[in-house]
Amino acid sequence: MKLSVYLFHYSLMLVRKLIPLVLILLFTNGYSELKDDEWGTEELFDDIVVVSVNGKITHGDRYRLFFHHTSTKKCNLPQSYISFYSVAGNAKEKFEDLPSKSILTEINQSQKFLTQVVDISDFIAGMRALLYVGINSVEQLIEHHKDNDEIKIELLAFYDQEDERILPVDIEEYFDIPRNTWSLNGFEEAVGAGKAECLSRVSSSNKEIKF
């Protein structure tokens, strides 16, 4: 089965490197001062600029962009993550033995791509999974979303990458609400601000090294 790969490039190596960072993300309440349904900056890490927005269906499941200020190039290539909270029956047991870490996902009811589960954690009365969406340039992100009001994402099925096939498992047995919607209010401004802040930190770091 061939998949149309949205705008993002799938990268398992990158995911593995980021796992120690995203573990913290699941339990952070750094978005308490952000406005609902509007993109803004989160104060999560000292070495990463994060912009995000809350989910409309499941509020706490945010869509996040990470800007790493280790180089000017990386400041233009934010990494995208989404989280999904589940209170499905026996969620803990199920999440500890997922059929696959790869999930066939659909955006805006039009394009299918693969997301990767990079972490699972206990959360309130259920479980939460953090999914790596991919990486794209700031320009690509803005261009892709410029005519939309929101981002709609639905988890369709677990996917076996080795055999390139959809697994015959009901996704809703694991994710009782396998869809969420995120507003694009302030998206372009927030992404631009995230990149600018990232670049300023790169510049500051370089000055400190020269000094």
Contact 52, 62 (CB under 8 A): yes
Averaged confidence pLDDT in the chain: 86
Pairing of β 63-68 and β 48-53:
antiparallel
Q: Is 2 domain-assigned?
A: no
Boundaries of domain holding 97: 12-210
- Among 123-127, 157-161, 175-179, the range scoring the smallest mean pLDDT is 123-127
Q: Is 52 domain-assigned?
A: yes
The C-alpha atoms of residue 13 and residue 16 are separated, in whole angstroms, by 5
How much is the pLDDT for 206? 64
- Higher per-residue confidence, 46 vs 117: 117
Q: Is 27 domain-assigned?
A: yes
Checking if the pLDDT of 168 tops 50, the result is: yes
Q: Is 109 domain-assigned?
A: yes
Render pLDDT for 151-161 as a digit per residue (tens, 0 to 9).
Answer: 999 999 999 99
Checking if the pLDDT of 43 tops 90, the result is: no
How much is the pLDDT for 77? 97
Mean local confidence (pLDDT), 91-118: 96
Domain count, the chain: 1
Q: Is 158 domain-assigned?
A: yes
Helix 187-210, helix 138-145: angle, nearest 10 = 170
Q: Is 3 domain-assigned?
A: no
Q: Is 89 domain-assigned?
A: yes
How much is the pLDDT for 47? 84
Q: b/e string for 181-198 if b means 16 or more Cβ within 10 A?
A: bbbbbbbeebbebbbebb
Q: Is 7 domain-assigned?
A: no
